[in-house]
């Protein structure tokens, strides 16, 4: 093995379960490859403030099963300006860091792309529960969030069914319906309301009013980017004349111990990130497409829109007949 070189990593944007498992993989696999690893605190903010810890094998022990990120995450307005980026680059150079792994969502990759344009070798690992990053079927944290939601939905279904109720459940996803569609199919929702596809609340209310004999409950999943649960519930109540209960799941969806899939992806993505840095690659994100680990250029994924699976959306509604 040659001279020991330095790489760094940071977690940025909204926290996602499995970020810690990625930090563990990158650190241990990099050390295995004779690299020294700097973990910057609070995303790009830590880069600007030169706030870091040198990670060793022990410092990433006992975190594989912990949600969130022990390096903390933050949003940094300062980093969006040249001035902030220059400070970050100066700190990377001062510490002789030759490669950077950015773990986060598309906003974080915009920042990473800026660093690349200014001569920094940087690769990205998608980690956001929203799963709204193009270039990968899965972002780390998405599967765990779905499992948390499914668990809660089963409880809501118990009450909905016992009382023959209509429930409107609001899930996260920012401008994406990805969480809502996958929740809907996995939980047997009757209606899924997402920003990508127009919906007609009058029609939905009329169907609910006339729904089949023997149906004990109605579950409506609404993505936060499509409408608020309270607005949907008010419309259904007004148009169908039934009582409607709402549940806004909120931040409970982001935490918790990572699922098996998120831990396995954390291992595969983290290893690939270190391999890419060792090969001299930059300006790209690792992802999984059709069960294969692939890389995409930041520019391509930042320009592309991640589409929801419309077949899955339609199937959920057919199965709710
Ligand atoms: P999530 O989807 O989970 O919220 P994200 O990575 O998309 O994750 P953002 O808040 O959009 O989260 O971005 C995280 C950080 O990336 C921002 O606070 C900012 O520091 C940096 N960033 C975002 N956009 C840019 C940009 N255009 N140029 C430079 N830096 C950026």
Domain count, the chain: 2
Tell whether 78 and 11 lie within a shared domain. Answer: yes
CA dihedral of residues 178, 284, 257, 226 (deg, nearest 10) = -20
CA dist 137 and 172 (Å) reads 18
Q: What is the pLDDT of residue 215?
A: 75
Residue 293 has pLDDT above 60, yes or no: yes
Residue 224 counted as domain residue: yes
Which range is least confidently modeled, 50-59, 91-100, 208-217, 312-321?
208-217
For 156-188, what is each residue's pLDDT tens digit?
998 888 877 899 999 999 999 999 999 999 999
Residue 88 has pLDDT above 90, yes or no: yes
Q: Cα of 75 to ligand 1 centre, how many Å?
A: 7
Residue 281 counted as domain residue: yes
Tell whether 153 and 183 lie within a shared domain. Answer: yes
Q: Cα of 131 to ligand 1 centre, how many Å?
A: 15
Q: From 214, 232, 254, give the residue that closes a domain.
A: 254
Probe residue for ligand 1, chosen from 106, 108, 129, 131 as the CB with the greatest number of ligand atoms within 8 Å: 108
Residue 113 has pLDDT above 90, yes or no: yes
CATH classification at residue 273: 3.40.50.450
Q: Output 321 or 251, whichever has higher pLDDT.
A: 251
Residue 319 counted as domain residue: no
CA dist 295 and 289 (Å) reads 9
Residue bearing the CA closest to ligand 1, atom 11 = 107
Q: What is the pLDDT of residue 1?
A: 43
Contacts of 2 (CB under 8 A, 6+ apart): 34
Tell whether 113 and 213 lie within a shared domain. Answer: no
Q: What is the pLDDT of residue 242?
A: 87
Residue 308 counted as domain residue: no
Q: Give yes or no: 130 in active site.
A: yes
Whether 130 is in the pocket of ligand 1, judged by its Cβ within 6 Å, is yes
For 295-310, what is each residue's pLDDT tens digit?
999 999 999 999 999 9
CA dist 287 and 86 (Å) reads 29
Tell whether 280 and 180 lie within a shared domain. Answer: no
Secondary structure of the chain in HEC code, one letter for each residue: CCCCEEEEEEECCCCCCCHHHHHHHHHHHHHHCCEEEEEECCCHHHHHHCCEEEECCHHHCCCCCCCCCCCCCCCCCHHHCHHHHHHHHHHHHHCCEEEEEEEECHHHHHHHHHHHHCCCCEEEEEECCCCCCCCCCCCECHHHHHHHHHHHHHHHHHHHHHCCCEEEEEECCCCCCHHHHHHHHHHCCCEEECCCCCCCHHHHHHHHHCCCCCCCCEEEEEECCCCCHHHHHHHHHHHHCCCEEEEECHHHHCCCCCCHHHHHHHHHHHHHHHHHHHCCCCCEEEEEECCEEEEEEHHHHHHCCCCCCHHHHHHHHHHCC
Tell whether 224 and 273 lie within a shared domain. Answer: no
Residue 309 counted as domain residue: no
Tell whether 273 and 241 lie within a shared domain. Answer: no
Angle at 240 (CA atoms; ends 238, 244), nearest 5 degrees: 75
Average pLDDT, the chain: 95
For residue 244, the enclosing domain spans 143-254
pTM of the model: 0.96
Question: Mean of the pLDDT values across residues 64-82?
Answer: 96
Tell whether 277 and 234 lie within a shared domain. Answer: no
Residue 242 counted as domain residue: yes
Residue 31 counted as domain residue: yes
Q: Cα of 106 to ligand 1 centre, how many Å?
A: 7
Tell whether 76 and 54 lie within a shared domain. Answer: yes
Please tell me which residue in 15, 106, 130, 262 is annotated as part of the active site: 130
Residue 315 counted as domain residue: no
For 225-267, what is each residue's pLDDT tens digit?
999 999 999 999 999 888 899 999 999 999 999 999 999 999 9
Whether 114 is in the pocket of ligand 1, judged by its Cβ within 6 Å, is yes
Residue 30 has pLDDT above 70, yes or no: yes
Contact between 248 and 220 under an 8 Å Cβ cutoff? The reply is no
């Amino acid at each position: 093995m040659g001279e020991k070189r330095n790489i760094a990593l940071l977690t940025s944007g909204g926290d996602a379960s499995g970020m810690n498992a990625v930090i563990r993989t990158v650190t241990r696999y990099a050390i295995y490859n004779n690299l020294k690893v700097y973990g910057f605190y609070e995303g790009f903010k830590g880069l600007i403030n030169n706030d870091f810890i040198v990670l060793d094998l022990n410092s990433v022990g006992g975190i594989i099963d912990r949600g969130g990120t022990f390096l903390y995450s933050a949003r940094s307005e300062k980093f969006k300006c040249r001035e902030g980026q220059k400070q970050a680059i100066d700190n990377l150079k001062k510490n002789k860091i030759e490669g950077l792994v950015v773990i986060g969502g598309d906003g974080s990759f915009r920042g990473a792309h800026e660093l690349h344009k200014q001569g920094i070798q940087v690769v990205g690992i998608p980690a956001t529960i929203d799963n709204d990053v193009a270039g990968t079927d899965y972002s780390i944290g998405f599967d765990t969030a779905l499992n948390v939601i499914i668990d809660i939905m089963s409880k809501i279904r118990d009450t909905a069914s016992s009382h023959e109720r209509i429930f409107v459940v609001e899930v996260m996803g920012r401008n994406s319906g990805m969480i809502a569609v996958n929740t809907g199919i996995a939980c047997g929702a009757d209606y899924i309301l997402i920003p990508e596809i127009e919906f007609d609340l009058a029609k939905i209310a009329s169907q609910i009013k006339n729904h089949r004999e023997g149906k004990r409950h109605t579950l409506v999943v609404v993505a936060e980017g499509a409408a608020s649960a309270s607005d949907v519930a008010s419309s259904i109540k007004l148009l169908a004349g039934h009582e409607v209960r709402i549940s806004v799941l909120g931040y409970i969806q982001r935490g918790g111990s990572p699922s098996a899939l998120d831990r396995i992806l954390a291992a595969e993505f983290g290893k690939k990130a270190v391999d890419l840095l060792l090969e001299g690659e930059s300006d790209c994100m690792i992802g999984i497409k059709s069960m294969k680990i692939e890389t995409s250029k930041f520019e391509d994924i930042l320009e592309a829109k991640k589409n929801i699976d419309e077949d899955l959306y339609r199937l959920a509604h057919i199965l709710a007949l």
